[in-house]
Structure 1
């Protein structure tokens, strides 16, 4: 791993501990959020720009990678302008966080050669099987920390270069995660954070560097990949052209951050064992910090944003994505109506009984990772009757995700030790109803973090440490994180416990064989339609 970038722990100028401002860039799945934080973790200003997502065919999810850069420019300009004229100099560093497993292939100058493949893209099922045949499931898990499935970029990349756009392979393209593309355009240096490259599935987790064995499987060389920097390392200074476009001073330190999940753990104030962060976002991601490298099918292992540590992480790909699906695809509302429709559904759902009047949902809208690692899994909803309405589906979705989280949390506890509380953040955490359901279903206190945008805050913490605002990362986390409302398990815990044990826990295992056959028939039917179209 590169030692070119240096942290600037002693470079404080005339500022005292915690003084100054930092910028956290969060380039997520649907938007880029640029938030300026002060040394107490308070939002000073912010900007936001949307990022489009396309679904050109079943299982295909793509983006225009140029939009990552355009949205970063737009959001950052908004945040800087809202600081007020002449105040940009107060920003001492900027850190980056982003959607993970999403990548783009570019030419030598960084021009995208193909739309970026987003983390939800699942066209690579055959490539998962081929990689297992080549190296073995155990070896892939041991090296990368992740059981083979369609989520890590490795298998999407194999699909792209072998079936999706095989002509790209001859061009020996560069392979960039979101962080790498942004840091290259900001600083002129092709580099990314180790905690950003790790989700690609190309990193040897114990060596904390790209794996020659996995690169050989993918047909890649080191020259096609960015330099790796430790989280909190200064990648470089902001180039003049980029500085002018952003409204920030040239030379401003650009700090290696982490993927959104690892950054969220920092933003939640998670620094050791005994608690887990829980991000209620497009995906539902939870994790606990581990000082040692360990693997288990109960979780995937990530490089933590905390120096030298790992994050044992669970991931449900059908999070608030499932709620958006309900509004847009099932109810036929436009994207601009999503927020208002969800608020109206929640108002009605509050008055429904636990268990959504007999409706139960298994939220595998995008397959299932831990603990089953089944890309053929699909969503299940049972218990329908004629009195059910959209609000019942809404409540069943909140409850189904909460029950899945209990499954995840108990599996992680069995492998790594007890979890006393869940530190919750993300857009879904604004819902009091959902937070209370989570507490009742899991039987654990759910503590709302002080910052809803915990990923951006985590990137800001790394920037604050790197710029010398704090003597170490622990001091930055302690000063900038906060706790909000606590939701304790209540009177409905008993009925939820029975629903979980007597129905939910056994539902997917009972249906797994049928779901796999259904997935095979789905693929066969698609193939038949495609054949007719050709003829």
Structure 2
């Protein structure tokens, strides 16, 4: 943290980053100086095995959260950040929020989540579905089949495929699996929009819905709105009514003010009422202003439990397998492309647990002493499905080429390489479509904690990778958006580009850059082609079937 004089009165923004396990709060001023940060875990964490207090095991792939955790942890993080800083809360002019997506929930019109009603607490579909909830496999297949048959225009914005983790598959799942919950729901919305709604305390009809969240996860565009009524009606006779009657609100862009901090929430957080609150954004997307990447052609990689990659371009060009292309969805004035890998840090943690190890230190050292290609051991990193380019959450991962001489280091290196090969596939999708990728910037905790991964990425891609110094890129981006929402008079910034550059960009010559080893390129080119062949083979098999290593 930079040293700041206690007499300094520059405006400050509060960035709130709601992740999978915790919420992070950062206080950053208009010159990019960080005054404090704090992290608070969710009490219930990820609810994946059974609902609290229940003995009934949840099906595999189910993932929920308890909405009260978001508010409780936010309160704890904000109060800790304020207490550890030297600032007066009155200096905070804006609050920005980013959230995992698509994490969504049903509520009453007063904002009460249905899972907090005593009569519905033990009903899984009443809970907030975490982004990684994979219960809507059949519904997703039906949505894609119908959209393809009808040749609906929205498909081109999503690479031809709607994702399992998105809004309408999850809503349709509830409608079909738990119609009582669907009937009781009065409002359906993304968790990020719900959180902003709680901060500003407005009527349901005036709640703010983020164009970012709706554009990437809910089949919405500024030109067409949501998918047409005939499409929803063909999926389920009640779905169209839900869209028309149970999704109230006003569409606003991230950085646009959603309202002012309400007196009740101000008292809870220990802040003055009336602070501007920005429209929510997707957590990964927030990292783009959070690393100061305000120009097109920069692929920002937010690397954590999963990885999301954002790229701004001046052109709109359909790309097969992208998670979304939204006009102004990441930064105004550009077409924002999103891609992703569904398991990165999660996959590494899984392997560590599988090997009964407690630390990556020796494992990583041993792995990096192996040659490229891990002595013939290959891996498909689809441990949580494949997001880009196949958008198939039912696909599963695998190891291939195992022998009695295979060691834990071989498994780990092959998993690192598989993650890198998946990223290379994504970059090639862009370049083959004529969309330039000129610069790669990595952010999030993983690039700082796992330098071996970044080196393997650089070697496989044959491209330098910048590691942004902040480990809290999304939280910083949220602060940038909060500063912009405060308005020019309060913050001094007229737009997101100016705020992002001043608050988050790394000065020229001070970047941390991982350079590729050109001597490894030929070997990795061959390994990458084998990865693609293995992916083709894996797709031909049922998800529950494994490939024998003798093949």
Moved more, 292-301 or 426-435: 292-301
Distance in structure 2 (CA, Å) of the matches to 1:301 and 1:205: 14
CA RMSD of aligned residues (A): 2.4
Matched, 1:154 2:168: yes
Report if the CA contact (8 A) 1:153-1:199 is conserved. Answer: no
Distance in structure 1 (CA, Å) of the matches to 2:128 and 2:153: 24
Equivalent residue for 1:493?
521
Equivalent residue for 1:464?
483
Of residues 295, 305, 319, the one that matches 2:344 is: 319
TM-score (structure 2 length as normaliser): 0.84
Equivalent residue for 1:331?
355
| Structure 2 counterparts to residues 164-183 of structure 1, below 5 A | 165-183=178-196
- Structure 1 unmatched runs, 5+: 1-14, 520-535
Task: Describe the shift of the 1:64–1:331 C-alpha distance in structure 2 as closer, same or farther (beyond 3 A).
Answer: farther
Matched, 1:53 2:46: yes
Deviations 1:179-216 (A, max 9, x none): 11111111112223211233332413544x44453665
Aligned length in residues: 493
| Structure 2 counterparts to residues 207-222 of structure 1, below 5 A | 207=224, 209-213=225-229, 216=233, 217=235, 218-219=239-240, 220-222=242-244
Task: Describe the shift of the 1:302–1:103 C-alpha distance in structure 2 as closer, same or farther (beyond 3 A).
Answer: farther
TM-score (structure 1 length as normaliser): 0.86
Aligned to 2:280, the other structure's residue is in SS state strand
Equivalent residue for 1:111?
112
Report if the CA contact (8 A) 1:232-1:466 is conserved. Answer: yes
Aligned to 1:514, the other structure's residue is in SS state coil
Alpha-carbon deviation of 1:326?
A: 1.7
Matched, 1:447 2:466: yes
Distance in structure 1 (CA, Å) of the matches to 2:222 and 2:76: 35
Distance in structure 2 (CA, Å) of the matches to 1:116 and 1:196: 16
Distance in structure 1 (CA, Å) of the matches to 2:360 and 2:64: 25
Distance in structure 1 (CA, Å) of the matches to 2:496 and 2:232: 32
Task: Describe the shift of the 1:171–1:308 C-alpha distance in structure 2 as closer, same or farther (beyond 3 A).
Answer: farther
Of residues 27, 30, 41, the one that matches 2:18 is: 27
Of residues 427, 431, 453, the one that matches 1:409 is: 427
Distance in structure 2 (CA, Å) of the matches to 1:416 and 1:117: 36
Alpha-carbon deviation of 1:466?
A: 2.4
Deviations 1:99-138 (A, max 9, x none): 0111011122222221111121222121123223444364
Aligned to 2:279, the other structure's residue is in SS state strand
Alpha-carbon deviation of 1:293?
A: 4.1
Distance in structure 1 (CA, Å) of the matches to 2:34 and 2:523: 40
Distance in structure 1 (CA, Å) of the matches to 2:543 and 2:367: 32
| Structure 2 counterparts to residues 31-110 of structure 1, below 5 A | 31-51=22-42, 52-55=45-48, 56-84=58-86, 87-110=88-111
Matched, 1:477 2:505: no
Report if the CA contact (8 A) 1:278-1:287 is conserved. Answer: yes
Alpha-carbon deviation of 1:378?
A: 0.7
Aligned to 2:152, the other structure's residue is in SS state helix
Moved more, 18-27 or 68-77: 18-27
Of residues 97, 120, 130, the one that matches 2:132 is: 120
Distance in structure 1 (CA, Å) of the matches to 2:223 and 2:408: 47
Aligned to 1:518, the other structure's residue is in SS state coil
Report if the CA contact (8 A) 1:300-1:370 is conserved. Answer: yes
Alpha-carbon deviation of 1:251?
A: 0.7
Distance in structure 1 (CA, Å) of the matches to 2:12 and 2:386: 40
Deviations 1:133-177 (A, max 9, x none): 4443642743763512312121111111211x2211222431121
Task: Describe the shift of the 1:188–1:482 C-alpha distance in structure 2 as closer, same or farther (beyond 3 A).
Answer: same
Equivalent residue for 1:506?
533
- Structure 2 unmatched runs, 5+: 1-6, 49-57, 115-125, 547-551
Distance in structure 2 (CA, Å) of the matches to 1:120 and 1:461: 27
Distance in structure 1 (CA, Å) of the matches to 2:446 and 2:277: 30
Aligned to 2:386, the other structure's residue is in SS state coil
Equivalent residue for 1:194?
211
Equivalent residue for 1:528?
none
